Amino acid sequence: MKKVMLVDDEILFRENIRDCIQWEQEGFEYCGDASDGEVALPLIEQWMPDILITDIKMPFMNGLELSSIIRKRMPDIKIIILSGHDEFEYAQAALRIGVDEYCIKPVSAADIIKQLHQMSQKIDSERLEKEQLHKLTQMVANQTMRTQDMLLTDLCSGFITTVEAVQAATSLSLHLIAKYYTVIITEFRSRESESSLSIDSSVISQYEAQFEQNLKNNVEFLSFKRIRTERVWILQGNTVEQLQHTIESIQEQHSLTDHLFTSIELTYGMGTIQDRLQGIHDSYLEAEEDKHWRRLTKLNRNALYTIAGDSLDHTISLDHSVFIEFLKFGSPANIQPFVEQFASDLKRLNWNTSFYGYYILNDLILKVFQSVKETFLNSADDTSEIFGRLQKQIEAIDGWEKAFIYLTNLAQQYWLRRKDATDKYTEMLNQVKEYIHRSYHNNQLSLLDAAEYVSVSPSHLSKIFSQEIGQTFIEYVTHVRIRKAMELLKSTHAKSYEIAFQVGYNDAHYFSNLFKKSTGMTTKEFRRKDTISIQSSGTDGS
């Protein structure tokens, strides 16, 4: 219930108002009354009414003087001025003070009730607005309090927009902006045990410190701990060449130390170089995928060294990059002469006495499969099932002829998958767009969600979406949200911050800036223009 207080020097008027209104039934609580402003002031401070009804002409302290004090000291109290004088100067003075209503006596109980309900609605509306503003302010405060690790985690996971990331980084005094970015993930494992718990944390810290020192010699970077044995490094550079040089340096350093016998083994993954802050998410996903396939490749090679050891013939090898390059750009008509030349070293293998051919082909499959994962849609079959089937087929190879047939079939399957993937792009992208139109109001909507919905990798969806739609995923989501906001501005009386929430933005200020950037108008200008357009149309029609 809203509390009401009455101040008037006429006792009969006060008693009449007090007794004629069913206060509780109307939804109000009558605190009490006073005969003038001076008497009323301490009572107001004690009772803290929501609504103050006061006469203007009173002895000692009149209504305007009382209202002026209340407005300064207790601005939330709603003030209704009652006056038997309809002179213009009284109304002007009341407006200057900031009273909420100005009523001319005589006034009935029904008039008072009507005014009270109007004030009650106004109080409810302002309280709701304050509550929402408080929530918004609290949300901004919470975002400001993000730790560096939380910010970088959200950035890599695609859970934060560019503007939000920059704002959060500024509050943390974090240098986030660069011309180019790339992501590296490092993982340290024990060579003797698959359990990461067997590695002492201090040992991991020592290895990470060495890795960090190597980076410091080349580029600026940010990093965060994902789990105890893994760290994510976000490299920042002024040129592509600078980052590429750093990547090559890490790869060279790793290849030199990888064969050394130590208790700790480093596996890393690298993403592509990106020229936008939002691209860190794509680079991160690519680094995670790259780390997975490097790990499988390393397990395959470790098994080979364990079995064959020093007896390996290092002159027999297959160049993975050449084979994958042919799969991407070669012609099926040239498959036989290509395989004949590409795999000619395998002719020197004794398949009956050596496992080397098996491991060479298994290594090649890993690389091809990695390319498939990066390039094509997931097939209906389970990934591990397909990989296992390909490995089983290698076991049946006992000579050059079967190896030749196997590689030929592998290339043909790749091309069939490519054709199938191309046919599915349209259907997949339509599903993604429908998903966005259904979920645009969700402020957590991300590329990862959409990728899971259509069962593809996020990095693959990002590439295909940009290529086929002509917009990045986040650009398309923004477009949908702004169009919906325009509809709501035209068809409802909702405030801008309310519409921001409805279309998926927790930050009303960010939404306002984005709306103006997208439409060239503020939300108020857009709504005003639409109103004028409708009025003009109505005038023309008449």
What b/e readout covers 197-208, taking b as 16+ CB neighbours within 10 angstroms? eebeeeebeebb
212 forms beta bridges with: none
Residues of the chain with CATH 3.30.70: 146-310
Report the alpha-carbon distance of residue 247 to residue 253 in Å, rounded.
10
pLDDT at 504 (0 to 100): 92
Measure the CA–CA gap between 47 and 324, rounded to whole angstroms.
82
Report the pLDDT value the prediction gives residue 385, as an integer from 0 to 100: 66
Per-residue pLDDT reduced to its tens digit, 294-349: 777 766 666 655 555 544 555 677 787 888 888 877 778 888 899 888 888 888 87
Q: Is the dihedral of CA 256, 260, 264, 267 positive or negative?
A: positive
The pLDDT confidence band at residue 157, using thresholds 50, 70 and 90, is: confident
List phi, psi (to 5°) of 226: -85, -55
**Residue 464 confidence class, pLDDT cut points 50, 70, 90:** confident
In the chain, CATH 1.10.10.60 covers 428-541
Count CB atoms within 10 A of the CB of residue 523: 22
% of the chain surpassing 90 pLDDT: 15
Domain 146-310 fold is Alpha-Beta Plaits (3.30.70)
Half-sphere exposure of 480 (CA within 13 A, CB side): 22
Q: In angstroms, what CA-CA distances link 19 with 15, 16, 113, 399? A: 6, 5, 13, 109
Residue ranges matching CATH 3.40.50.2300 in the chain: 2-141
* Pick from 188, 194, 277: nearest CA to 234: 277
- Residues, the chain: 542
User: What is the pLDDT at residue 534?
Assistant: 46
Separation between Cα atoms, residue 73 and residue 67, nearest integer Å: 10
Strand partners, 187: 230, 267
Report residue 488's pLDDT band, with 50, 70 and 90 as the boundaries: very high
| Higher-scoring residue by pLDDT: 94, 243 | 243
Asked if pLDDT for residue 456 goes beyond 50, the answer is yes
Report the percentage of the chain scoring pLDDT > 70: 83
For the segment(s) 428-541, the CATH number from 1.20.58.2050, 3.30.200.20, 3.40.190.10, 1.10.10.60 is 1.10.10.60
**Predicted confidence (pLDDT) at residue 438 exceeds the cutoff of 90:** yes
- Residue type (1 letter), 136: L
Largest CA distance in the chain: 119
Instruction: Let me know if 108 is exposed, middle or buried by CB neighbors in 10 A (0-12, 13-18, 19+).
Output: exposed
Listed residue (286, 245, 274, 287) closest to 181, CA to CA: 274
Is the sign of the CA dihedral 62, 67, 70, 76 positive or negative?
positive
* Average pLDDT rounded to a whole number, residues 257-280: 76
Mean pLDDT of 496-514: 90
Domain 2-141 has CATH 3.40.50.2300: yes
pLDDT band at 528 (very low <50, low <70, confident <90, very high): confident
Are the C-beta atoms of 268 and 187 separated by less than 8 Å? Answer: yes
Instruction: Say if residue 381's pLDDT is above 70.
Output: no
User: Shortest CA distance to 46 belongs to which of 10, 5, 101, 8?
Assistant: 5
Long-range contacts of 36-42 (CB under 8 A, 24+ apart): 36/7, 36/9, 36/60, 36/61, 36/62, 37/7, 37/61, 37/62, 37/63, 37/65, 37/66, 37/69, 40/5, 40/7, 40/66, 41/66, 41/69
Q: How does strand 180-190 pair with strand 101-104? A: unpaired
Going by pLDDT thresholds of 50, 70 and 90, the confidence category of residue 498 is very high
Q: Which of 439, 434, 453, 530 is nearest to 487 (CA)?
A: 530
Q: State CA 426 to chain mean position distance.
A: 25
User: What is the per-residue burial (b if ≥16 Cβ within 10 Å, else e) of 32-54?
Assistant: bbbbbbebbbebbeebebbbbbb
- Range from 95-99, 243-247, 531-535 carrying the lowest mean pLDDT: 531-535
Sheet of 28-34, strand order: 28-34, 2-7, 51-55, 78-83, 101-104
* pLDDT tens-digit map of 73-93: 898 889 888 877 665 666 677
The structure tokens 């007896």 sit at 311
pLDDT attached to residue 537: 47
Do residues 178 and 219 make contact, with C-beta atoms less than 8 angstroms apart? no
pLDDT recorded at residue 185: 93
Map residue 513 onto helix, strand or coil. helix
Task: Give which of 175, 272, 271, 262 is closest to 210, Cα–Cα.
Answer: 262
Q: With bands split at pLDDT 50, 70 and 90, how would you rate the model's confidence at 377?
A: very low
Which residues have C-beta within 8 Å of that of residue 295, sequence separation ≥ 6?
187, 267
Residue 373's pLDDT band, with cuts at 50, 70 and 90, is low
Q: Which amino acid is at 410?
A: L
pLDDT at 482: 94
Rounded CA-CA distance 431/439 in Å is: 12
- Whether pLDDT at 514 is above 70: yes
- pLDDT reported for residue 198: 58
The string of pLDDT tens digits covering residues 1-25 is: 889 999 988 888 888 888 888 898 8
Rounded mean pLDDT, 38-45: 90
pLDDT bucket at 434, cuts 50 / 70 / 90:
very high
What band does 390 get if pLDDT is binned at 50, 70 and 90? confident
State the pLDDT at residue 423. 66
* Range picked from 283-287, 393-397, 399-403, 432-436 for highest mean pLDDT: 432-436
